[in-house]
Amino acid sequence: MDPRVLLFAVIFSLVPGWNAWAQERTLAGEVSALPLQVDVKGNRAKFNEYRDLRGGVHGHIVLRYSEEKTFLDFKADDIGYRDQKYELSGGRWGSVRYHLGYDGLPHNFTFGSRPSP
Amino acid sequence: MRKAFFVFSIVPGLLFFGGGLSPQEAGGSNGTVGVEICKGCHEDHFKTYMLSTHSKKGIPGSPASKDGCESCHGPGAAHVEKSGEGGVGIFIFSKKLADAKAKSAKCLECHSEQRDLSFWEMARHKIEGVSCDNCHTVHSGTRKNLKATQPDLCNFCHKSIRSQQNRTSHHPIREGKLKCTDCHEHHGGFGPTLLKGDSVNELCYQCHAEKRGPFMWPHPPVDENCLTCHVPHGSNHSKLLSNRVPQLCSDCHNSSGHPSRPYTRFETFQGPTPSNKMFARSCLNCHNNIHGSNGPSTRGKTMVR
């Protein structure tokens, strides 16, 4: 085969692929850090029964990336705390979807209890 | 050689250049005008539509891969000819202009094959006149095109459930660790009250597996229904109990003598001898294996520790 024809064929064969590569991409999201001061008057364990609401900086991240055929979402809440939550999901629209997650769930009954004698 | 040249270069080239105009952009002969015409007047709606998954051409059968806006709203040629006048065959997801059945039918034209919508026809929500657009919006960038996140979305209608969720003993719903859809099949199913399990117990055991048993000495109401003693959404009694112990236990154990005699104010602080049968965990101070026991002899039979 004539090398020039072959080169021409290869270049044109790649054109549809280039068209797919050049498809629209979207990246959106938010990153926030919330300084928090907590003063609990009363039962601290009940207040934090299913959460870890302490003073400090609470981080929150949401990122959403999508193309025409695929998507990828990432979400993080209360980073570094006992009730921290991370989610990563993605896939190909209409065919495959995956979801990976970690969700910390503390269950506090009491703080500072001592064993019975 | 020429054949190979045609296959490897001309065909892909035609595919590339021919793919420049999609049917939705160009308009069609079936009375459609294309998204660019719609965008000219409804730019705000177009922007929110572009944020949604409906705008993804890569999704097979999505509105974007068909007629764009007109996939759901109907052909717009007559609407354009009359300078945007209403009532010319444009379908609008409005409570005033279309009933719940018509709105849901419009969505189901594409979504009827979805696995989680298999039981929509027998779903309680459908029977009560709820339509897809009560919870979802076609123009949105939110996950699953939901109008709000859970539990706020469900609580908008189920206000009594919201009040229960705010009681002192509750599942971690308001903390965001449990969603309504973790237990309920909102699109319909075989379980009672849209539950995801075949029964209440089967659903509860998915998380509270240690309550399932089997036990040498079972507590019959546990096997029968968790809701005999518990309320699922929230309670002002500890452990999501429907009543306070010992009154809850006395509902069934009402024979004379211990353990069933009715406790009165004489056993409380008003009486001469306050009893631990009335305070703290009451009956559960001793009978702590209340869901069932494998203890030996009468200790197991009476579910004491």
Measured CA to CA, the distance from residue B185 to residue A90 in angstroms comes to 23
Place of tokens 């965990």: B281
Structure confidence at residue B17 (pLDDT): 40
Of B10, B62, B177, the CB nearest to A105: B177
Place of tokens 């099949």: B185
Kindly state the average pLDDT of the residues A45-64: 93
Q: Show me where the domains of chain B are located.
A: 34-147, 155-202, 214-301
* Selected residues 174-203 of chain B with any CB under 8 Å from a CB in chain A: 175-177
Kindly state the average pLDDT of the residues A31-48: 93
Q: What is the mean pLDDT of chain B?
A: 83
Contact A12 B141 (CB under 8 A): no
Contact A12 B177 (CB under 8 A): no
Higher pLDDT among residues B102 and A74, named by residue: A74
Structure confidence at residue B87 (pLDDT): 67
User: Which pLDDT band, with edges at 50, 70 and 90, does A13 fall under?
Assistant: very low
Q: Which residues of A touch B (CB under 8 A)?
A: 1-2, 5, 8-13, 15-16, 19, 28, 46, 49-51, 64, 66-70, 73, 77, 83, 85, 92-94, 103, 105
- The whole-angstrom distance between B76's CA and the closest CA on chain A is 25
Measured CA to CA, the distance from residue B233 to residue B163 in angstroms comes to 9
- The encoded tokens of residue B22 equal 């999609």
Residue of chain B whose Cα is closest to the Cα of A85:
B177
User: Which pLDDT band, with edges at 50, 70 and 90, does B266 fall under?
Assistant: confident
Q: Among A27, A50, A71, pick the best mutation site for testing chain B contact (most B Cβ within 10 A).
A: A50
Higher pLDDT among residues A35 and B13, named by residue: A35
Reported ipTM: 0.72
pLDDT at B16 over 50: no
Nearest to B44 by CA among B135, B140, B144, B142: B140
Of A10, A16, A73, the CB nearest to B16: A16
Q: What is the mean pLDDT of chain A?
A: 83
pLDDT at A116 over 90: no
B114-131 pLDDT per residue, tens: 888 989 988 889 999 999
% of chain B surpassing 70 pLDDT: 88
Contact B177 A5 (CB under 8 A): no
Chain A contact for B273 (CB, 8 A cutoff): no
pLDDT at A102 over 90: yes
Contact A19 B5 (CB under 8 A): no
Structure confidence at residue B130 (pLDDT): 92
Q: What is the radius of gyration, based on Cα positions, of chain A?
A: 25
Measured CA to CA, the distance from residue A67 to residue B115 in angstroms comes to 25
pLDDT at B5 over 50: no
pLDDT at B136 over 60: yes
Residues of B in contact with A28 (CB under 8 A): 141
Q: Which residues pair with A88 in a beta bridge?
A: A74, A100
Of A64, A92, A105, the CB nearest to B172: A105
User: Which pLDDT band, with edges at 50, 70 and 90, does B260 fall under?
Assistant: low
Structure confidence at residue B23 (pLDDT): 43
pLDDT at A2 over 60: no
Nearest to B184 by CA among B257, B135, B143: B135
Place of tokens 């009715």: B262
Structure confidence at residue B231 (pLDDT): 96
Nearest to B150 by CA among B124, B120, B167, B171: B171
Residues of A in contact with B146 (CB under 8 A): none
Structure confidence at residue B259 (pLDDT): 65
Q: Are A91 and A78 in contact (CB under 8 A)?
A: no
- The whole-angstrom distance between B28's CA and the closest CA on chain A is 23
pLDDT at A64 over 80: yes
Instruction: Find out whether the peptide bond into B172 is cis, omega within 30 degrees of 0.
Output: no
Of B13, B175, B177, the CB nearest to A15: B13
Nearest to A26 by CA among B279, B75, B137, B52: B52
DSSP B57-119: TTSTT-GGGTTTHHHHH---HHHHHTTT-SSSS-----TTTS-HHHHHHHHHHHHTT-GGGTT
Q: DSSP secondary-structure letter at B169?
A: B
**Is pTM, for the whole model, over 0.90?**
no
B273-298 pLDDT per residue, tens: 777 777 777 888 888 899 999 988 87
Strands (E), chain B: 217-218, 292-293
Which range, of B54-63, B92-101, B153-162, B183-192, averages the lowest pLDDT?
B92-101
Of A5, A15, A28, the CB nearest to B12: A15
Q: How far is CA B258 from the centre of its chain?
A: 45
Structure confidence at residue B97 (pLDDT): 75
pLDDT at B26 over 80: no
Residues contacting residue A36 through CB under 8 Å, at least 6 positions apart: A53, A54, A55, A56, A57, A58
Residue of chain B whose Cα is closest to the Cα of A7:
B9
Measured CA to CA, the distance from residue B19 to residue B22 in angstroms comes to 7
Which range, of A33-42, A95-104, B51-60, B268-277, averages the lowest pLDDT?
B268-277
Structure confidence at residue B19 (pLDDT): 40
pLDDT at A11 over 70: no
Of A16, A50, A105, the CB nearest to B15: A16
Structure confidence at residue B179 (pLDDT): 93
